[in-house]
Chain A
Amino acid sequence: MNIYLLMFFIIWIGGWWLNVRISKFETFNLAKFIVPSLFGVVFLFMWELIVIGLTINPVLLPAPTAIASKFSSSLDILWIDFVQTLVKGALSGYILGCGSAFLTAIAIDKFNFLKRGLLPLGNFISALPIVGMAPIFVMWFGFDWQSKCAIVVVMVYFPMLVNSVQGLELIDPSRQDLMRTYNASYTQTLFKLRLPSALPFIFNGLKICSTLALIGAIVAEFFGSPIKGMGFRISSEVGRFALDMVWAEIFVAGMAGCLFYGVIALIERRTTFWHPSQQK
């Protein structure tokens, strides 16, 4: 038997056994940190060993070390792509889309007749296929990040709108009556009662949209882009069978997505600490 494959099984079983032992110390805070990290490390080792042991074609699956070396040798390109796609395309679209959806939600809440017009329209737009919209937007807004931003706006608008509207609707009637007994104005009620109590829903929308924005910006680049950007890089490197670069871009996208989500979840914890879902 191949020595690498033998090591593969040894590390697998060893890591398994170790994690089962450690996870018994549930009360021990460090264990909560060690168990998932050990899992990650063992997983990477197994990946590396199986690729070498079975001499897998790097086009099918490159080893983690190959991806890491490609990653560190192309930091400049990865950075340019990251800025182009995630900062310029995804983030601007995310802010624009979520922001306008939020404002629309407030307008719908204030003027009820808008609900019947705008919600179905939002629903319709969100049902449009991205592969159809992307080339159209490229023609409208050009090859650069602006057309990607537009795609992201279309993708995040509806989920954000629905969540915000629902949050503003679900108000405890006696809290609303309380504001009435104080003769509070519309804006006072909005800022002191309705927005704070809608926050858990608004954050749900923001979290769902954070991943949608990344996917939208990357996929949109498949339909026309300048010679930079993560989607452009992935499609062109696939054509050259340089899968290690594709994996490096995927790694960047994954890390950025986790970070993005994590930041929003952190702000959520800080601002909706009072909500039962945030309490242990």
Chain B
Amino acid sequence: MISVSDVSLTFETNDGPVNALKNVSLEVNEGDFVSFIGPSGCGKTTLLRVIAALEIPTEGRVTVNKMTPDEARKAREYGYVFQAAGLYPWRTVSGNIKLPLEIMGYSTSEKKDRTRKVIDLVELNGFEKKFPWQLSGGMQQRASIARALAFDANILLMDEPFGALDEIVRDRLNGELLNLWARTRKTICFVTHSIPEAVFLSTKIVVMSPRPGRITDIIESPLPKNRDLNIRDSQEFIKIAQRVREGLKAGHTEDVI
């Protein structure tokens, strides 16, 4: 579905070139839930932005649904959820969800149907007429996910969507996200810096480290697709979390030397 081969990206800054990504290769299959985890500066967000054609790699090849990222963007193959919910404050919740539909030229009745469907999906019923600043952070992020789902792209790219939320809300939204993933069968790429979040959600965990941004480990999760929060106490879960932690540590030791 998404294939990244030998991608490097160098930013030119005033302090000289910065290697945001160095020789990164990765395969994402249809229906996967892939997490990118690593400390800040490891290029996990940059990698997501490369897939979304928001950044252009200096080297290497990326294909999304057998297209170049830019073609995929123009074909509206993916929905993107930003770290800050990024809702437009002058639009209501349903107005925000309708925004992509307006831009893509859906008919009035279809806009209505789709908005109702995704509002059901993220359980925001009763808040359609509220403005973003009248909602809690968790609800804003749900509306933002609904907006990304509204036009039914196959791929969902999520950049630390729950990073700013407290742990209780985050746990709940993680559970809901898994449900949503099971029901919609999307392919999801998810950036995070929380180990439990990555292990709990993913079928595949990509561990990254900084300077230069690179992949240190790719873990295929043996956990079953249907899971609930209790799985976090299982032996398997703890073992995967340990492996992630070691991958992160390995990246850091090299960095110090």
A interface with B by C-beta (< 8 Å): 172, 174-175, 177-184, 188, 192-193, 196-197, 272-275, 279
Contacts and interface: CB of A to CB of B under 8 A. Distances in A.
B154 to A, nearest CB: 14
A109 B47 CA distance: 30
A181 B73 contact: yes
Interface of B: 52, 54, 73-74, 76, 78-80, 82-84, 86, 88-90, 99-100, 102-104, 131, 133
Contacts of A279: 133
A180 B54 contact: yes
A197 B89 CA distance: 9
26 contacts: A174-B84, A174-B86, A177-B54, A177-B80, A177-B82, A178-B82, A178-B86, A180-B73, A181-B52, A181-B73, A181-B78, A181-B80, A182-B76, A182-B99, A183-B73, A183-B103, A188-B103, A192-B102, A192-B103, A193-B88, A196-B88, A197-B88, A197-B90, A272-B90, A274-B89, A274-B90
Which secondary structure characterizes the binding site on chain A? helix
B89 to A, nearest CB: 4
B86 A172 contact: yes
Contacts of B76: 182-183
A106 B73 CA distance: 26
B73 A175 contact: no
A175 B88 contact: yes
Contacts of B103: 179, 182-184, 188, 192
A192 B102 CA distance: 10
A275 B89 contact: yes
Nearest to B104: A182
A279 B90 CA distance: 13
B80 A178 contact: yes
Given A178-B82, A183-B73, 14 more contacts: A177-B54, A177-B80, A178-B80, A179-B103, A180-B73, A181-B52, A181-B54, A181-B80, A182-B99, A192-B99, A192-B103, A197-B88, A273-B90, A274-B90
- The interface centre, meaning the residue of A181, A188, A193, A275 with most chain B CB atoms within 10 A of its CB, is A181
Contact of A274 (B79, B82, B131): B131
B234 to A, nearest CB: 36
A192 to B, nearest CB: 7
Contacts of B133: 274, 279
Given A180-B73, A181-B54, A188-B103, A196 B90 contact: yes
Nearest to A196: B90
Nearest to A193: B88
A269 to B, nearest CB: 13
A188 B249 CA distance: 46
Contacts of B131: 274
A227 B96 CA distance: 56
A179 B82 CA distance: 12
Contacts of A197: 88, 90
B56 to A, nearest CB: 12
B190 to A, nearest CB: 16
